[in-house]
Structure 1
């Protein structure tokens, strides 16, 4: 039974990445090492973010149950570095916009999956007692993949020199939502005391809304050119 649960968690977490890589056409372009380079850029950006947070944002020492709104907002602002990292990855890859976006997103999301969820799933999901949090973690990894694809698409659109003026505001709003999505989720959890499954559902809905808006703008921009 333990191996069965581990197999389910592994399949839910990793197969969507494999399917996305194969079906997006990246395998036809031999983009594996491009994705690896994008993942290495992710690691470098996260290291810089951790050093910056450790230097300028000490541990919150307020009372128990008190939410440090300003501090958490400033920490979330540091995630702007992810936008710069994605832009750097895409600027170093030649090709169509779709190719640049998928290489950056796949490398970024896969690196996050390996660094933040691989070990907990490997150790925890193989435990004697089954825990639903590992299924939730697997679903969350899929949401992150969609999130990074949308974020890369928005960054690509924002950095285009021929972006129409009518697109500037919605693209900027989507960029802000991508950066502060985790902060908004933490705020919702603190205010409404959401359960783990409810948090996952809200995150999926919010990510889906951002992704659909990004897809609409991307398709409109590409077809207008």
Structure 2
């Protein structure tokens, strides 16, 4: 949660809102904002290096903590206040589904950071891990480009986020399962 607060302070200080026309897209600003997400990966690595335990537990704990911090900082208050209202609105159901997609995304990103830091990972898999980490960091930019270029609606956008996250998670899981089982249970 501390890294989320620091990230928000950095974004507010160094990347203020730009003068973009309504309905426009500031690609440079969004790219720089997504670049700050690399600090999250460093924070995840720092957290996992401090957790004593098995490898599976490390990335699960780090991913769950990261997803919980994001949920509390970005979605908890709107869900709590808005969903308790008298009128029902589908945006709260979409926000709940998006939180579940984000949970899978954060766990798979934590798994990729854990895989990247392993010394026994095959050297041919390192570029794939790095590419998936980069895609995960720049996912909000890719989503914004899809919204403006293709004109995705809210449900279509949610489905595309879910498909993207599922693809990254499946590739991450396959690389994780490729590590021999006796090494998966070893300490970091």
State TM-score, norm by structure 1. Answer: 0.77
Match of 1:216 in 2: 174
Number of equivalenced pairs: 183
CA–CA distance in 2 between the matches of 1:157 and 1:191?
Answer: 34
Match of 2:132 in 1: 174
Task: Look up the SS of the partner of 2:17 in the other structure.
Answer: coil
CA–CA distance in 1 between the matches of 2:20 and 2:159?
Answer: 30
State TM-score, norm by structure 2. Answer: 0.92
* CA drift at 1:79: 0.4
Of Structure 1 and Structure 2, the greater helix share is in: 1
8 Å CA contact 2:75, 2:95 repeated in 1: yes
Question: Does 2:101 correspond to 1:143?
Answer: yes
Q: Extract unaligned runs of 5+ from structure 2.
A: 184-188
* CA drift at 1:223: 4.2
* CA drift at 1:219: 0.7
CA RMSD of aligned residues (A): 1.4
Question: Does 2:74 correspond to 1:124?
Answer: no
Match of 1:93 in 2: 51
Match of 2:186 in 1: none
Match of 1:184 in 2: 142
Residue by residue over 1:163-199, the C-alpha shift from the partner in whole angstroms, topping out at 9 and shown as x without a partner, is 2211111111111111111111111011111110000
Match of 2:8 in 1: 50
* CA drift at 1:111: 2.1
Task: Look up the SS of the partner of 1:221 in the other structure.
Answer: coil
* CA drift at 1:89: 1.1
Residue by residue over 1:78-136, the C-alpha shift from the partner in whole angstroms, topping out at 9 and shown as x without a partner, is 00011011111111111211010111111111222222222111111111111000000
Q: 4+ runs of 1 displaced by more than 3 Å?
A: 222-225
8 Å CA contact 2:27, 2:141 repeated in 1: no
8 Å CA contact 2:4, 2:70 repeated in 1: no
Task: Look up the SS of the partner of 1:162 in the other structure.
Answer: coil
